[in-house]
Each structure stands twice: as C-alpha cells, then as structure tokens.
Chains A and B, each alone.
Chain A
Amino acid sequence: MNFSPFGVREMANEGSHTETLTHVEPHLFENRHVDASQQQQSSAYAPTTTGSEAVSWTVHSSTGNGVYSNPVYQYDQHPQPPGRSLQDGQNVSSVAGNSSNLGTANVPQDYNAYASYPSSSNPYGYGSVGYSSYYNNYQQQPNHTYSQPVGAYQNTGAPYQPISSFQNTGSYAGSASYSSTYYNPADYQTTGGYQNNSGYATWNNGSYSSYSSHPYSTYAPDSSGSYSSGAAATSVQYQEQYKQWADYYNQTEVSCAPGTENLSVTSSSTLGCPIPAVTSGYANPSSQPPQAYTAYWRQESSSTAVPSFQPAAVNSGDHDGYWKHGAQSSQIQQTNPIQPNYQQSPLDLKSSYDKFQDQQKTVSSQGTNLYLPPPPPPPPHPPQQVNPTPIQSASTLDTKRVSPLQIPTNPRIASNVTFGQPKTDKDSSTTSSAPKPAYIAVSLPKPTEKVSSDDAANSILKPGMFPKSLRGYVVRALARCKDDKQMAACQAVMKEMITKATADGTLNTRNWDMEPLFPMPDEDVVNKDGSLSSTYDSLTTKHKKSPRRSKSRWEPLPEERPFDPVLISNNAIKYSGWVHNEKDRKVAVENKESKEDGLRNTKFSPLLQRTSSKAPQRPFKKQRLTYAVITSENGDASSDSDKEQSLTAYYSAAMAFSDSPEERKRRENRSKRFDLGQGHRAESNHFRKKNAGAGNLYNRRASALVLSKSFEDGVSKAVEDIDWDALTVKGTCQEIEKRYLRLTSAPDPATVRPEEVLEKALLMVQNSQKNYLYKCDQLKSIRQDITVQRIRNQLTVKVYETHARFALESGDLPEYNQCQSQLTTLYAEGIGGSYMEFSAYNLLCVILHSNNNRDLLSSMARLSQEAKKDEAVKHALAVRAAVTSGNYVAFFKLYKAGPNLNTCLMDLYVEKMRYKAVSCMCRSYRPTVPVSYISQVLGFSTGTPTNGSREEKDMDALEECLEWLKAHGASLITDNNGDMLLDTKVSSTSLFVPEPEDAVAHGDANLAVNDFLARAPL
C-alpha cells in the first residue's frame, strides 16, 4: 500500500522511470564494478554511470517524474550506454558474467517471489520482447531462454501498454530501480511503487497489495536474497545482452534487470504481482515504440538499478517530498546537464543519459539506433579497462570527478554535487589519482557514476583490488568473529587497514598471509568492513551459488528455468554486481541518512567518499540506509526492504567466499540447502530485526550472514578444497599459561601462542605440581594452538605424548584415546617419538578396553618383529595372553612389573580381573582360601619384600583386600590362628559387583568432578 502512495506521487512515471533508469545504470555500473573486481575496467564504468546517474535519476524521478519521464528515459539510456560501452568492452563480458551470476542468484529468488522477476531475469527476455530483435541479436542464448519469459512479459505488457508503455516502462524502470533497491529494497520499491502508481496504478495496486500481503512473507526470506541476486543477475545478463546488442539493449537489459529487481523488491512480497508488473511494463516497452523507451528504461533502470537503488533509497529514505523536489530539481538538472553533460563529466551521465535518451527517444522508434549511441559507453570502457586494477582508485577518482563535474554541469545538482564533491573528492583524491585520466575520458558517465562509482569504487576496491592473500586475511579475520557485532567491528577495522594499506601502497605488497590478525575490535565499531568482506567474497565466487539458489527457489517458474543457464553463466558477474550494488545501496542509504532532502546528491557523494574511505562500512550502511529509506518511505515496504537488504547482505556474504572455482562448486552444491535453510532463516531473522528498525541490526545481520556463509563454506567445503595455508593462523600470544576454551570461531592470533611459547608452556606443564585437571586443561590449550597453527613436528608429538601419559596416569581414557589416535598418524608420518611405548599402550588399550578381536588381531599383525622384542610391547603381549586365558596370577605379576605407564592402563582393568579371579576361586577352591593369599595374588600387596616395612605394607594390603572382598559380597571366616579365610562355597553364590560409589572413570577420585565422566560399569 505504501507503494501506491509513493507511486501516486511519482505518478510522473517518467520520474520514476528516470529513477529506474538511473538505478539501472548503477546496476550496470555496479555490475561493471563487480566485473571490474574481476575486471577493473568494468567496475570503473559502473561506478561512474551509476553514481551520477543514480543521483540525478533519483532526483529526476521525484521531481520530474511526470514531466521528465521521457527525459529520464533518455537519461537512463544514456547512462546505460556508458555502462554498455563498458560492458561492450572487456567489462561487458565480465559484466555479463557477473550479471549472469547475479541473475541466476537473483533470478531464482526473484522468480519465487516475483514471477515478474523471472521476467526480469527475462529482462533479457524483456529486452527480447520489446527488443526481441535486439535481444535476439544480442543474446543468443538469453534470447532463447528468455523468449519464453519475453512472451510472458509481452502478455503482461500488452495490458500495461495502454497505461503508457513508456510510463509503464518507467514504472518498470522503477521496478528496475527496485532491483537496485534490492540493495536498498525499500527505496527502490518505493520508487518503483511510485512509478508504478503513475504508470501502473493498477499494477502497483494489484502487485503491491499482493506484495504487501503475500510477497512479504515470501519475500522476507527469498526476496532479499533473490532480489539482490536477481537484480544483479539481470543486470549482468543485461549487460551481456548489451554487449551483443547496442547500448540500448544493454540499457534495456539492465533496466530489465533492475526492473526485475525492483519488481522483485516490490513484488518480493508478492511474487506473482511483481511478475505481472514487470511483464507488462516490459512488454509495453517492447511492443510499442515506447518499447524502445522501455527498453531504454530497462537498460537504464538496470544499469542504474544498482546506483539507482542507492539513489532511490536515498530519496525514499529522505522523504517522498524530498524525493519529488529533489527528483524534479535533479531531473531538471539532469535534463539540463544531460545534453551538456554528455560532454561534461558530472552531469555527463545524466547528460549522456539525456542524450541517450534523446537518441533513444528519437531512436525509440529507432531504438536500436539510439542504442548505437552506446559508443559513448565504449569510451568509458577504455578507461575502465585501463583502470581495472586501479578500479577502486579510478572509481573514487571518478566520483571526485563526477562530483566536480556534476557541480559545474548542474546548478541544482551543484549543491548536491558540492555535497558529494567534498566527500567524493577526498575519497577520489586518495584513490583515483591514477585512474582519473581514463575516467576523465569517460567524463560523462562519471557524474552518474560518481555516487555509484564511489560505491562501486569502494566495493570494487575492496574485492577487486585486493590481492588474494588479503582476501584470505579478511576471511580469517571475519571467521573468528563470534557474532554480528564483532563481524561488523572487524570489518570496520579491516576497512581502515585496507584503506591505509591502499593509501601507502602496501596493499599489494604486504604479505597478508603472514599478517597477524588484529585484535578483536569492539563490536560497536562500524560494520563497514563487512561490505569489504562481502565484496571480497562476492568477487571470489558467488556465481554458481546464486544461480542454483535461484533455480531452486525459482523452480516453480517455468520461464526462469530456461534462463537459468544464462543466468548461471552470468551469475558470477551479477554477484559481483550485487555486491557492488549492495555497497552502493548502502552508500545511498548513508547518503539518505546524512542528507535526506536536497542532500541526496551530496549524500551520494558522501557515500562515495565513505565508500572509498570506508568501503566495508558502506555495505552495511547501504543496507541500513535502504532500510531506513524503505521504512521512511513505505511503512509497509520496510519489511520488504528489510528482506531485500538481508538478502543482499546474504548474497554479498555468500559472494564473499566465492572467489575460487572450488568454492563455486561448493556453493553450487550448497546453494540449494542454503536457500532453503539458513538463507531463509537468516533472512527472516533479519526481517524481524529490521522491523525493529535499527540500522545496526542490518549491519549485524549482514555480518552474521557473512559469518554464517563463511561457516557454511567451511562446512560444505570438502576438506581438501580449503586453502588451509591461507587460513592458518600464526599466533602472537606470549602468555605461557592459557586456559582451554573450545573454539567456536576462527582462532584469533592474538590468543594463539607461537611455537616457542608453546614449548615453554609444555615444559611448564610437565614440571607443574598441580593436579591433572589443570594439566589437562593446559595441554588441551596447547594442542589447540598447535592444531590451529598446523604445527606437526617433534613438538606436536611431544605434546601428545605428554598429554597421553598424564591422561594414563590419571586414568582419563577418553583423553588418552584422542592423543593416541593423533600419535598414530603422527608416527605414521615419520615423526619420531616413543613409538614402542605407545604401541604397547595401544595394544593394551585394545586388549583391555575395546575387547574387539578383530582390532586386536590387526594390531598384533601390524607389529614388526622388532617391536615384538621391545620390553613394553612384550609386556603388553604377555598381558594379552594373561587376559585371554584368564590367568590372574600372571596378570597381577605383570601388573606389578609394567614398564612405562603400562601399569596405569592395566589399572583400569584390575577391578574386572579381580572379580573374575575371585569368582574363579570361589568355584575352584574348597573349602577356604586365605585372604592373605588372595591379597598377594590379586596384587593388593606389593609382594616385594625389600625392606622392613613390608609387614606393615602387607597389613595394609590385607586390610584393603578384606575391604574389597567384603564390598563384593564375599563370605569371610576366621580360622584358629586368627587368619581371615574366604569361604568359597558360600561366597560363590553371594559375590556381586558393587555399584561404584565414588568411582570415577579416570580412576582418581581426587579429580572427581561429579559429572566429570559417567560412571563406567564394571
């Protein structure tokens, strides 16, 4: 419902369209950025177009929705062209890939939530529908798959066309912007809604209502993830298509993607609803001349989608009124700048858009021709390409440039620009010095890109720029976070680190693998880093996951499936795009927050700056912002936006870990589960939190998502797939004493002791006079530190041997078994130690405690001739013989003569053996057996007459034996000499095994913590 009001306000569909277009462009940019991460060039492009465009667009949408809708479209197209051009370039391919990935990811979700989204994924389809010819040309595969969706879209489109194909498209664009909203779901949705209202009042109503009612529930889980992914995916796909197609197509595709995203966003709640809207809007554009517009819109929206999301989010967040005003003004500015902008950098995007739009308009009929304008984009490409590595800097530069450019071009914007400029300038100044030139060439796109570019730049910088080692570092750092707060804090810290490293040029030179992890920061610290991490992740490998997810989620939608392959291929790109988008959104959100009204532009610029400076933070911020926007704009939408945000965060997180191909595979495998399981849960949780309305919640969620994803990754990864070297911790802790605490997250180097310290710790424990519980605790912590640092050498063996001995001395069999199994593998690796001693222990353990003949046989068969000559092993074998034959006399002789700690292991069997022996005696002896004999034979007395105190000892042993016999129900009598005798006949029926009163499995009652171990039955 909220949407509808907004939609009404924005009835100026055009405005909405423009917004969407801007959004679309951002998407493109973002996508590009994402790509850029892969391919720096693409990323650079995305930022420029998206940023400036997005800002301008949003403004336009609000103000000039009605009037400028067409212009907007034009603008959109223009911006898109740059994106296209980028895409056309290397970026295009990469973008396409990214977009596809995103698309797949998104698509599934979108599909689920939004039938329309699928269409959005279809956006390609849209493109195909509207642009069928274009699309066909452009995307061969997409076309095929999309053709079906397209058809659907067309159908929907047909009804919509009446509304005003253009407007519809615009509204769609809005939806596209929504896609961007995915990032800033709320904002986008609202914008979308606005647009919809104007163009699609019916749609909006229907869809929105449906959205609010159905979709939300569904969305909450799916939508956010799917949406974000979907948007990205669409954009990516679009981009691909764009590549093939003229810029128009790209734009349209992008717009479609955004549109789908938007749709998904809006419709996210109502899956079905969005679909119609999308389809209709798309269909309309495609079918009619407006189709070209729509196409443009789509493109724009898609391209902007990411950026627009942010802008939209900003606007929405700011206020509807603001939006309108701002949008109008911005639109005006944009329009004005647009033409000039083409040449000018700041407005360039807008101007370029305008030009594009103009071209498109002219072309609209000519659609394709207009698209041709894409050539402008090509320029961007070069810069992007050039900048690939610099991308971040380039993006920042762009933003700077953009901001300045914007300022000059658009007076109105100027304020905005100024806002943005200062911030952006800072950021850009730092990062973009080198890349600027290239961007300068691209000047036009830059303005729009600024905002987006900033975001993109940030995002790009984060993921794309970072060396693998750094990414691994980030993953490690995040892995040890225990909760969202920590994640956020860590991310903030890492942002700073990375920014610093970037600033002093050590980013690529530093050995991140060796870099100690920073101490856990306060959770309060901004979550900015999360975005970085997410971006990293996204950069790595998100593609496959998203596609699969999308598939699974989308399965219901037949149309989607055909797209899936394409989407999958694109997914990677899309994901990357998503990440960027998310960042952008965050930026946008931030901007909104910072400056709700006229500040939008400024906000964007700040956002850009922030992103550049705090790339990590942005994602969170963006999410928050979007959320805020959503909430502010649409009370109802908030839930959707929340969902979307959470989804985006989720995706971004998922993306973060997806660099390596193996990870992709894993993700593919995991994606389904993920979608069904954690993703939904996380999302739903997020939504609830979001309802609470706290920005932090978003951040936390995002971080949590990242964490959860990382965990999932860890779990799902085949062990061999994990790059342990990259994850290995190098400890810095100098404390010798450390309590054992079972790790629940990745180890923190600050609390892990390096090898030298561990050696000291081992010595300390060995010489410690404290009890076993203390030693066990200490040794476990040493073992933990050794394990997390993957130390496997003599020290490792020593530690395990030491612990095994202590455990034996204290009868702690479970702990001993752990050590023994480790030692077995360590010995097998050829690391020397007390091999014989421990193979004897092992033998005894099997004999006495596992009672498994097959194990015993194989253990014996494994003994070498040499081992059989070893004293300890011989003893163990003799014990085995005594036990199997029940020879208690031999057993207790061996018990007294055990080398090493063999006696300790036998200790645990003594009770059993004594009971057996006494039962045997009671059966065999008549009439009596002297207790003294029993005491001697059953090992109560030492039996070693070495000194004068022997008598005394024997007396003690006798007492002990008597007690034992009594405790076991033996019948005792006294003979004439006063000697105690066991009455065997009576006892044979009265013997029993007493319930151990204070028996502790580890054998030492002193250590007994009541529930330390369960009582072991005899």
Chain B
Amino acid sequence: MAYMSMGEAHRRITDYLNRFCDAVSSQDGASFKSLFALSSNSHSLLSLADALNLFQDANRLIKQSDNYSHFADILLPLFRSIQNYRQSNLLEAYNAFEKTANAFIQEFRNWESAWALEALYVIVYEIRVLAEKADKELASNGKSPEKLKGAGSVLMKVFGTLAGKGSKRVGALYVTCQLFKIYFKLGTVHLCRSVIRSIETARIFDFEEFPKRDKVTYMYYTGRLEVFNENFPAADYKLSYALTHCNPQSEANIRMILKHLIPVKLSIGILPKHSLLEKYNLLEYSKIVQALRRGDLRLLRSALNDYEDRFLRSGVYLVLEKLELQVYQRLIKKIYIIQKQKDPSKAHQVKLEVIVKALKWLEIDMDVDEVECIMAILIYKNLVKGYFAHKSKVAVLSKQDPFPKLNGKPVNS
C-alpha cells in the first residue's frame, strides 16, 4: 500500500463512489450495505482508507459530480470516518460516522421501499460498535465516555423512522435489539420500556413477522428484564422462547440464554442436567444445582460466594440467593426421610433441635430462634405443609405430601 500511486488512490475512491451510486440507483441493498461495514475490515474498505490517506482531496471529488454530491452529507463524513478508523482514531471515526448515520436516516426516509434496510442495519450496528470503541478510547484518556449514550439517541431516531406502518416496520425490532444492547451496557435498562411498549402494543404488526434472529434477541433481553423483576413465569417463557428459536449452531448465544434461564428454572424447581452445564460451560451453576439436590446449605453459600461477582454482573445473584429456602426444604425433607426410615409413626414430627444439629453439621451456625423462624417461613411459603408448635419446638408435618413440589410455579412470596 505504501507505494500506491496517486492515480491508484483516485481510482479506488471513484470506484467506491461509483459502487455507492450504482447501489442506490439499482437499489441493490446487499452491495450497498457492504459500503458501510466499517468494522468488517473488508479489503475494499481498507484499501479505500489507504487511498483516502494518500488522496487528500476526496471531498472535491464528491462535490464535483452531481451523482456524488447528492450524497455528500453521507459520503463526506463517511470518508472521514473510514480514514480515522483506519488510523485507529476511534473517537473521530465515531463522530464522523454519527453524521453519516444522521444523513443516511434522512435519505432513508425518502426512499419509499425498504430496499436499504440491510444497509441501515449495518449502520446501526456500526454506530453501536464504534461508540463502544470510542468510549474505550475516551475512558483511557480519562474523559467521560458518552458516545454510547449518543449512539443510543441516534438509534432512537432510527427507531422512529421504522416504527410506523409499512415495509420498513420489519426493521424496527433489529434497532430495538441494538438499543437493548446499549441500554444494558449503560445500565439504563429503564429506557427499554418505551421501545418495548411500542413493539408489544402495536397491533398492526404481528410480532411473529419480525425476523427470527431479532425475535430471539428481543426475547432474550426482555427475558432478562423479567429476571430483574423476579417475574419468573414470564422470564421463563421469554427465555425459553429465545432458547428454542435460537440457531442451534450459535452456542455462544445459547449459553447466554441459559445463563439466565437456568436460575429462572431453578427458582421454579426445575433442575438442569449436569451434561447441559458442561456442554455450555456453565459450571458455576453445578454447585448450586448440587446444593439443591442435597439440601446442602453450605455448598450453596460457598457457590454464591465463589461466583458472587459473576452472578452480580449477570443480575442473577438475588435469584440464586433465594434458592436457600429450597435448600432448607430439601434438608428438612431429608431429615423427614431419615426419621421415616427409623420410625414411620413419628416421622412427621420434626424436632427443632434435630434441624439445628443438622445445620451445625453443615457448619452453619444458627440458634434455635432462627431455625424456628426458618421453619415458620418454610411453612408460610408453602414449601412445607404442616405447622409449628412453639411450646414443644416441634414442626408437625402434614401426612400427605409434606413437601410439595414447585412444578414450575414460583415460591410463594
């Protein structure tokens, strides 16, 4: 590249411009979109960037021809962006690309058909990725990263142009998903609500008509939101939808879905097979599952402690912590089973001191009052059927199904 001639640079630039105009005039979305794929590191864009570095007067080139000058608002910043991106000048690249995006939105509005939707997707994607990179650059310079936020507002603009009726509507979900990614990254998930409402209340467009990949992404993120809200049935539905419709080849995506779906399933009493955890490398859950199976409170606590950061970041920590009650239930059940083996007639009377002893054995230091409280809570939450006699410090279990299974229903709260 170093010995690229001026003529070669000129040729490459005009070649790019010609492709741009040809794509527009023939409404060729597929070749059009490749012109914007900045982060694809495609050979054509890389060589264009080198040409732009060499040939400084590309702007004049654009303005000279009527064909190009019509798109000057898109092309000028796009060239700048390509150039800066090539030089790893990410902040500048983003700023220029944002201009391109805005100009493109304007242009896109004027195109009646949705032929350029693919290109819009690319732009939406690129602006998000660029913003993330620019933010990294900003942060490393000690400045406040704010570009992703800016990208969010640009995407809201894009969403606005797509959210109406017509053929462009089909692209709305893609933008929504990109917005989700930004909002989750920024920790401003409350902003998701407005887009969700717009998607879910629109009667004119059936959700099923959106592209599958968008539906999966959408369900994944809304499912995560439901996890935050501890609305487990809804979370289960959405994440399961995502899981069943997800491309089986993309294991990373499946893993991400499972990462949130497993805690939800655990909360409603459904335990995964160990092979599943192994397959998707989700072994952080294996201890928890084991604890649930064994009623091993200590194991649960140590698992939570070990992976605290990870669970906190993915937002499932509190969900997992609530599994404690199920572990207690399992523990009581084990005691009950042992008692039954010893003396079936008195098996339904579980003495408090026995439970305390079992916990002590697990190296959980709890006094009688606390254990009594736990028993009361278990009964209260219908994890154990029966009652507690305070006077005699005995939990009297129901003779019929003393430990009801959750069977997909969440613990009473």
Contact = CB atoms under 8 A, between A and B. Distances in A.
Interface string B300-330: 0000000001001101011001101100000
Nearest to A929: B390
Interface string A883-926: 01111111001000000000000000000000000011101111
Contacts of B375: 924
Contacts of B228: 853-854, 857
A856 B317 CA distance: 10
Interface in B359-403: 369-370, 372-380, 387-391, 396
A695 B144 CA distance: 53
B370 A861 contact: no
Nearest to B377: A886
A887 B378 CA distance: 11
B318 A923 contact: no
A861 B377 contact: no
A853 B226 CA distance: 11
A860 B387 contact: no
Given A857-B315, A925-B388, A925-B390, A890 B370 contact: yes
B229 interface: yes
B230 interface: yes
Interface residues of A, number: 29
B387 A924 contact: yes
Nearest to A852: B228
Contact of B312 (A861, A886, A924, A929): A861
Contact of A884 (B312, B321, B370): B321
Given A885-B377, A924-B380, A926-B388, A854 B312 contact: no
Which of B324, B377, B396 has the largest count of A CB atoms less than 10 A from its CB?
Answer: B377
Interface string A928-951: 111001000100000000000000
B187 interface: yes
B189 interface: yes
A1006 interface: no
B379 A884 contact: no
Given A881-B321, A924-B376, A889 B370 contact: yes
A885 B324 contact: yes
A860 B312 contact: yes
Contact of B389 (A893, A919, A926, A937): A926
Contacts of B325: 885
Contacts of B321: 881, 884-885
B387 A920 contact: no
Interface string A634-665: 00000000000000000000000000000000
Given A857-B312, A885-B324, A926 B387 contact: yes
A920 B380 contact: yes
Interface size of B as a range:
20 to 34
A858 interface: yes
Contacts, number: 77
A854 B380 contact: no
A929 B390 CA distance: 6
Contact of A889 (B309, B312, B369, B379): B369
B61 to A, nearest CB: 31
Contact of A853 (B230, B309, B388): B230
Per DSSP, chain A at the interface is helix
A856 B391 CA distance: 39
Nearest to A937: B369
B230 A887 contact: no
Contacts of A937: 369, 373
Contact of B309 (A858, A861, A929): A861
A923 B373 contact: no
A923 B378 CA distance: 10
Contacts of B391: 928
Contact of B390 (A856, A861, A885, A930): A930
A886 B229 CA distance: 18
B370 A887 contact: yes
Contacts of B187: 854, 858
Interface in A787-846: none
Nearest to A975: B391
A854 B369 CA distance: 32
B229 A853 contact: yes
A889 B376 CA distance: 11
Given A861-B313, A924-B379, A926-B389, A884 B374 contact: no
Contacts of B376: 920-921, 923-925
B266 to A, nearest CB: 16
A919 B315 CA distance: 30
B373 A887 contact: yes
Interface string B338-374: 0000000000000000000000000000000110111
A975 to B, nearest CB: 10
A861 B380 CA distance: 31
A889 to B, nearest CB: 4
B371 to A, nearest CB: 9
A926 B325 CA distance: 21
A419 to B, nearest CB: 64
Nearest to B187: A858
A621 B286 CA distance: 86
A246 B326 CA distance: 96
A920 B377 contact: yes
A865 to B, nearest CB: 10
B352 to A, nearest CB: 12
Given A860-B317, A884-B322, A930-B390, A854 B189 contact: yes
Contacts of A881: 321
A847 B190 CA distance: 19
A933 B373 CA distance: 12
Nearest to B370: A889
B267 to A, nearest CB: 13
Interface string B265-286: 0000000000000000000000
Contacts of B396: 926
Given A887-B370, A924-B380, A857 B318 contact: yes
Given A856-B318, A861-B312, A861-B313, A887 B377 contact: yes
A881 B320 CA distance: 12
A931 to B, nearest CB: 11
A853 B224 CA distance: 13
Contacts of B379: 923-924
A854 B373 CA distance: 28
Contacts of A928: 390-391
Contacts of A923: 376, 379-380
A920 B318 CA distance: 22
Query: Which of A858, A881, A887, A889 has the most B CB atoms < 10 Å from its CB?
Result: A889
Contacts of B388: 924-926
Nearest to A858: B187
A921 B372 CA distance: 10
Given A923-B379, A928-B390, A929-B390, A857 B317 contact: yes
Contacts of B317: 857, 860
A748 to B, nearest CB: 35
Interface in B208-238: 228-230
A923 B309 CA distance: 37
A853 B377 contact: no
B390 A884 contact: no
Contacts of B309: 861
B377 A925 contact: no
A954 to B, nearest CB: 16
A933 B324 contact: no
A927 B396 CA distance: 12
A885 B377 CA distance: 9
22 contacts: A853-B229, A853-B230, A854-B189, A857-B315, A857-B318, A860-B317, A861-B309, A884-B322, A885-B322, A886-B377, A889-B372, A890-B373, A923-B379, A924-B375, A924-B376, A924-B377, A924-B378, A924-B379, A924-B387, A925-B376, A925-B387, A937-B373
Given A857-B228, A889-B370, 10 more contacts: A853-B230, A861-B309, A885-B377, A886-B377, A887-B374, A920-B376, A923-B376, A923-B379, A924-B380, A925-B390
List of 6 A-B pairs having minimum Cβ-Cβ separation, nearest first: A924-B376, A926-B387, A924-B379, A889-B373, A861-B312, A920-B380
